[in-house]
Structure 1
Amino acid sequence: MNTKILVSACLMGHAVRYNASSKTLLSDSLVRWRDEGRLVVHCPELAAGLTTPRLPAEIIGRDGDAVLDGNAAIVESDGRDVTPHYQLAAWLALDAARSAGCRFALLTDGSPTCGSETLYNGQFIGQRKPGSGVASALLRRHGIEVFSEAQIDLLQARLNEEEQ
């Protein structure tokens, strides 16, 4: 049986990002994994009931781990606290990954939900800082390895190791 990978829906061409766009990742690996039936396409924000389009949201404070621990918040650009929606999004991503038996996740970097290497700095000025979003943090806490779209070669290497 092929190892399953949870993948952000926007990377697969679905217009589900906050601004109703996609972030389609053109990759031979993704095409091959899709054809092999490995991919579990999921948008945590839509699963949690957030709309498209929606206001941009950023983590105020450290990162997704801090949000999960109650020590940071996620707010929209108008100042509205949407932390509970994004916490739900994280739990729904974990549920989707577990239900499908995913060992890995390929998620969109920068997102307050899916960011795995960087996040926007919480000031809505387009600057990033190191850190993980809430779903990435929760998936990692539960043993699922998370990769950004820039790490697809590293994910392929991990798949090769896993399946040898």
Structure 2
Amino acid sequence: MNILVSACLLGIQCRYDGSGVMQEHIEGLKKEHNLIPVCPEIYGGLATPREAAERVGNRVLTHSGKDVTKNYERGAKEILKLAKMLDCKYAILKERSPSCGMGKIYDGTFSGNLTDGNGVLAELLIKNGIQVVGETEYSKI
């Protein structure tokens, strides 16, 4: 089975701060599945490292107030194309992210507070019938 995975969870240094967060338990899934690493921010044309961003309603804003919504939407659409091409039914995405968060995301105040909601990519994948889970829920696949 092909599974989309946030690239940063596989140790690829693509997070906003240029780091990756290798999740050994997720990497272990490659024994049974094809893991497809994706980073919607990079697919959307943003650099690494980049200014931190949070979702505010339907927009994604950086800490300094720059609107990067179009980049996030472009990246999400490109990953959806990839998911369809590779017949991915599942995605394991980085929790709390404005792109990948599922169920809870940062609230847009850059204070570490969470609110109910999904990231741009997670929302698009769900609308297209792909089951999305966060890195702590990977066993649901």
Distance in 1 between residues matched to 2:89 and 2:104, nearest whole Å? 21
Residue 135 of structure 1 aligns with which residue?
Answer: 121
Counterparts of 1:10-159 in structure 2, within 5 Å, are: 10-27=8-25, 30-31=27-28, 33-61=29-57, 72-155=58-141
Matched residues, percent identical?
A: 37
Secondary structure of 1:153's aligned partner: helix
Distance in 1 between residues matched to 2:11 and 2:103, nearest whole Å? 21
Residue type of the alignment partner of 2:129:
G
When normalised by structure 2's length, the TM-score is 0.95
Structure with the greater alpha carbon radius of gyration: 1
When normalised by structure 1's length, the TM-score is 0.82
Distance in 2 between residues matched to 1:142 and 1:25, nearest whole Å? 26
Distance in 1 between residues matched to 2:102 and 2:121, nearest whole Å? 9
Distance in 2 between residues matched to 1:44 and 1:92, nearest whole Å? 8
Q: Is the CA contact 1:120–1:129 (under 8 Å) kept in the aligned structure 2?
A: yes
Distance in 1 between residues matched to 2:17 and 2:68, nearest whole Å? 17
Residue type of the alignment partner of 2:48:
T
Residue type of the alignment partner of 1:132:
N
The two structures, once aligned, show a CA RMSD in angstroms of: 1.2
Q: Is the CA contact 2:3–2:33 (under 8 Å) kept in the aligned structure 1?
A: no
Task: Name stretches of at least 5 consecutive residues in structure 2 with no aligned partner.
Answer: none
Measured after TM superposition, the shift of residue 84 of structure 1 is: 0.5
What does the per-residue CA deviation read over 1:27-78, in whole Å, with 9 as the maximum and x for residues that have no partner?
1x532x32345211111111111101100111112xxxxxxxxxx2110000
Moved over 2 A (4+): none
Secondary structure of 1:143's aligned partner: coil
Paired positions, count: 141
Residue type of the alignment partner of 1:45:
E
Measured after TM superposition, the shift of residue 117 of structure 1 is: 2.3
Residue type of the alignment partner of 1:151:
E
Q: Is the CA contact 1:74–1:112 (under 8 Å) kept in the aligned structure 2?
A: yes
